[in-house]
Amino acid sequence: MPSSLRELSAGAFANTSIKEIELPEGMTKIDDFAFAFSYQLEKVTLPDSIEEIDEGAFYSCPKLKEINVPEGLKKIRSNAFVKSGLSDEQKQAFFDKAEEVK
């Protein structure tokens, strides 16, 4: 993935069989349903530059258990992790960090 990438577009990795991904530093936004229905996704490493995580970004990723909360997070949709494998505590850490939860 190019380090110059700033936004991961809607559905970019939706319905894929990736298991792990590390997004590049400098990226600021994960768009709607970017990883939706990625049933094999287990681990995501987010750069601290991520400011916004949109609607259903990780929707229906039941094996997702590992993801870090980016330091720069400002906005997140309340349904970003619906039907993911994350615990309520993991999801709450994102909501607590963000300045705005929609």
The amino acid sitting at 58 is F
Q: Where are the domains of the chain?
A: 1-97
CATH number of 1-97: 3.80.10.10
| CA–CA gap between residue 78 and residue 64 (Å, rounded) | 17
How far apart, in Å, are the Cα atoms of 41 and each of 26, 53, 72?
22, 17, 23
Task: Name residue, tokens 């400098």.
Answer: 26
pTM, to two decimals = 0.94
Q: What is the pLDDT of residue 1?
A: 73
Task: Name residue, tokens 């990625």.
Answer: 38
The amino acid sitting at 31 is D
**What tens-digit pLDDT sequence spans the chain (102 residues)?**
777 789 999 999 999 999 999 999 999 999 999 999 999 999 999 999 999 999 999 999 999 999 999 999 999 999 999 999 999 999 999 999 999 999
